[in-house]
Structure 1
């Protein structure tokens, strides 16, 4: 009854590994770079790169369930190999972006949607997890808070539903270990709708910052230029359009985390306290 956890270096995958291991369940940690993994003692590690089909068969040997990241490149082959190996259940880490009307044309949503559609058409039972914004996305502001204390945003009043990555892992653990939860589609959110400005203020407080963060509104073009070195233009445009659509509009929240795990989703402030060191100023603020 071994569970294969792909993407085990990620925040969700690593937390899920620990949860399953703590329950005494056989679990296998998979990553494109298994040598970089830090896993609980006794957990098997191996290479499984979702963009390299040659790694699938060995990773899936004797596996009955899979926690899967949404990589569409060879999803048909992965599903076929999983079926041949006797896998019974796949839990997909998808995205709430697939719920948008233009998901198929959105570069952020399209990859998740393609994997969802493949699983829906395939022979294996699948459970789809659709989280909104990860709380960890706030780390994008860490450098600015540590140094200048100035954050430039095109839509500082855009709302999000930041969810703690460990809450996603708790949901994944629940659907992997409770057969009655299999086969559903679950929209996961944090417990609060918060603007970018509110999230920044929260991490600044957690870091003990004594002066307010200077949040400066910039144009779409200025922001896109500032991230062009690491974010392709089509992805930047998709983010800008999404932020524009949620500017001043509170996010729709769900209680799915609590309904599936019996515990409420963690507030963003808890995540901020846990990661406060990442935001501490390099010199007194």
Structure 2
């Protein structure tokens, strides 16, 4: 048996970049990273042709339209990328006997829960991004029932644009900032998620279905910002504000804490605490 060929979509995203770092040091897979130039997810009709050129054994579908607020005015584009492209990838995987791990989001939920969400909790997205990601999930499950779908939340990394880097910049520029304190969840360090995905690939069992992954703990965006300030020794006053004081084009779920028991028990995946991972990321950024 030769090395398994792994193809990663969304090569330049936070997760794609972290996977690239991990696979660079891992010669057990033959990896190909496709950015939006090589695999235009906004042109679903081209996807089969591109994938045929690579003939992967496994696809990690990390590419997505993730501009949550912009999606409200670009619903058709978000649907092409998050839903129709996922459908094409899922269809390709089934036809070509290729395994699929696809990344989804906590935004498939309405945010009205008060306890950590299990994989079978009721879905009811409250913004366009969430709707397109849910339709993508449903298409994947329909066309490729053997797929593994991982829902994650509040992703950050040393790569790309994210909350951690924005907060560090703002706290260096300003003496005070305001951050929302009534949206609850847990952040996900993309490097941890990338490691979890590699653990699944190395696992002897392939057990399809939906799984949750975010770091351990339960915090608000305000708590997250305060921790960033403490860890990076920044001098800035942070004011907690309600969501109502910071209106955005897209509504956000108020509560989207994910229950990680299933991924831990099924694949033996480790889930570090959010604070420990945040320290690691800020240390790397500095």
User: TM-score, length-normalised on structure 1?
Assistant: 0.73
Q: What residue number does 2:171 align with?
A: 145
Return the offset for 1:131.
Answer: 1.2
Give the gaps of 5 or more residues in structure 2: 65-81, 111-121, 157-161
Aligned counterparts of 2:277 and 2:17: Cα–Cα separation in 1: 19
The DSSP-based 3-state class of the residue aligned with 2:83 is: coil
Higher relative contact order (CA 8 A, sep 6+): 2
Is 1:173 the counterpart of 2:198 in the alignment? yes
Aligned residues: 245
Is 1:7 the counterpart of 2:17 in the alignment? no
- In the alignment, which of 135, 143, 155 is matched to residue 122 of structure 1? 143
Is 1:24 the counterpart of 2:28 in the alignment? yes
**Aligned positions of 1:91-170 closer than 5 A:** 91-100=101-110, 101=122, 103-104=124-125, 106-123=127-144, 125-135=146-156, 136-153=162-179, 155-170=180-195
Structure 1 pair 140/255, CA: closer, same or farther in 2 (3 Å)? farther
The DSSP-based 3-state class of the residue aligned with 1:264 is: coil
**Aligned positions of 1:68-79 closer than 5 A:** 68-69=61-62, 70=64, 71-79=82-90
Is 1:254 the counterpart of 2:260 in the alignment? yes
Return the offset for 1:161.
Answer: 0.8
Please tell me the root mean square deviation across aligned C-alpha atoms, in Å: 2.9
Return the offset for 1:174.
Answer: 2.2
Aligned counterparts of 1:68 and 1:143: Cα–Cα separation in 2: 30
Q: What residue number does 1:89 align with?
A: 99
- In the alignment, which of 177, 191, 208 is matched to residue 183 of structure 1? 208
Give the gaps of 5 or more residues in structure 1: 34-46, 228-232, 281-285
Is 1:274 the counterpart of 2:278 in the alignment? no
Return the offset for 1:181.
Answer: 3.4
The DSSP-based 3-state class of the residue aligned with 1:51 is: coil
Q: Which runs of 4+ in 1 moved over 6 A?
A: none
Structure 1 pair 212/273, CA: closer, same or farther in 2 (3 Å)? farther
Aligned counterparts of 1:137 and 1:257: Cα–Cα separation in 2: 25
Return the offset for 1:215.
Answer: 1.4
The DSSP-based 3-state class of the residue aligned with 1:74 is: helix
The DSSP-based 3-state class of the residue aligned with 1:28 is: strand
User: TM-score, length-normalised on structure 2?
Assistant: 0.73
